[in-house]
Structure 1
Amino acid sequence: MLETILFWLTLVGILYYVITSLLERLRVKNLTEKPVLITGCDTGFGHDLALKCLQEGMPVLAGCLTQQGCDGLILIAKNRQLNVNRLHTFLLDVRSDESVKNARKCVEEYIKSYNGLYGLVNNAGIGGNVSFDDWLLVQDYKDVLDVNTLGVIRVTHAFKDLIKKTKGRIVTVASSSARVALPSFGPYTVSKFAVASYMDVIRVELGFFGVSVSTLEPGFFKTPLTCAKRNTDMMERLWNRATPETREEYGEKFFNAAKSVTQRILVDQCIEQTEQVVDAYFHALTSYFPRPRYQVGKDCVYGYAPFSFLPSRWQDWTFKLARYLANLPLPKSVSDK
């Protein structure tokens, strides 16, 4: 009896995987008539996604934080001999209500020659100050939340009525850190857990209107946010900013070891193939049957995602083992006891 049940469960699982894999390959038609708005196009995933969408013939509205980002994107598009007439860049600061309001005007003007706004990609994000919570301030959390969480909500509120009219797509980047709360990644992790939850909410709500909502959960990829020098310099700054009492509590030995471990992880373990994330973005925009969630990168697929289902106590044990294997000492005030 048990063998029969296991057989049928396995068969159903295989059929589900095969059928969904085939259905996900179906692509929506008339991409040349489906404008997509992408935030955070100065560098990184947003920059590369804008170029990929343009290459595939999609009209692209690229929001950049700086004029340099706008000009650089146009220049690269020209160098690749892409149709820059389908590329419209403009300044967009997702932290600013006024900036988002001005972006709305730009988008409304641009989409008059099309059937509306088909896609919104919430890509803009920052790493912020990432370190142990004892070395951080409340403002560090506010700064990251204002971009990674409130920025997504602010932009989505500004444009979702246009997406509803076309029964289009909203795609947002979260992170593998939205599944596993990594020590020393407090502000970033909090912001990504929050934005993933927001996407879960509106995925159901906007489903009433035929809107597809997808969330990306990339692992650690080599981008400006994961630059080893940037992050180790940041740790130095935060350590020097900490109170004398905090520095005494942790000790120089702990700080230097923590900095070394961080640098080793960012140099050795970050994935270089950033096109995996861009391809996931594009699939969520163009597949007739997009996924609600995309785990991207082998570290997320085989590490963080399954790890997130472990009991909390098991996760804590794993972190303790990882600390031991990484040769990270205890804080000075603990080891002295």
Structure 2
Amino acid sequence: MVDELEKAKPIIIKRVKRKGHDFHGGSWKVAFADFATAMMAFFLLLWLMGNTSEDEKQAISGYFHDPSGFQEKAGSSPAVIGEGGANVAVIEIETIQPETDDIESEISKNEASNKPLSEEELAKLAEQKEIEKLKQLKKELEFLVENSIDFSQFREQVMIDITPSGLRIQIVDKDKRPMFDSGSAEPKYYSKTILRGLANVLKQVPNKLSVTGHTDATPYVERENYGNWELSADRANAARRELLFGGIKEKKIARVEGFSSSILFDQQNPHNPVNRRIAIIVLKRSVAENIEKQVLGVE
């Protein structure tokens, strides 16, 4: 009887269903790859930000604000980025040195016509080509001053012209915005910005530079045996140091001088703040050579 009951018992088989864990699928790999890509892009952005100048950042920002303005503003120059806050200070300046190819071309033309150039004619031709380069540099600097954020508040204080000695850049004082404190040879922070900004362009040309300091006619009497002559010379030397900080090589400086109030910008008003100024001249090669000869006493 017992055997029959045991045989009549139903046999129950329990099966445990195992669920697969989600992380064994492939979706997490896609998410992780996206995360790794985002982190790589983030660290690349940090690296670029740390190795990019303020001017370059402004230019990049301007492009992404208004890419369509690029060609309109830039014309044929790909280095200039258009509207939308772009800074056009990131420019390349051509070498001012007379182009040898141009001069050789002129020589070849004259040789072909059996009219060789004299030394005087060669020198005149070289100077003509150099002046053309100086005029081009003048346009580039004017464009920089007009469009660079660093110069936005000081455009009226930067004057650029061509003189018999070369390309002259004058940074003048303005009422309530002097380059230096009264009686001081330490440049204001914005004066340093201007000088270093100019240096960033001028360092790309081979010509030597002259730096001169000028004061107005107001006598400086706060220190014994120290007047406007000493002050103007010290300010010129301070400007030279800022140019060096901006990338100018020491050997490019041909002359540093102080003129006190002997050469007034506004001769009708000797006390006009504009008379207080720093002048930087990109010297023509012949002028730089004459300075060296004068120092050496060679005729």
TM-score w.r.t. the length of structure 1 is 0.28
Higher-RCO chain (CA-CA 8 Å, sequence separation at least 6): 1
Instruction: Choose 1 or 2 for highest CA Rg.
Output: 2
Higher helix share: 1
TM-score w.r.t. the length of structure 2 is 0.31
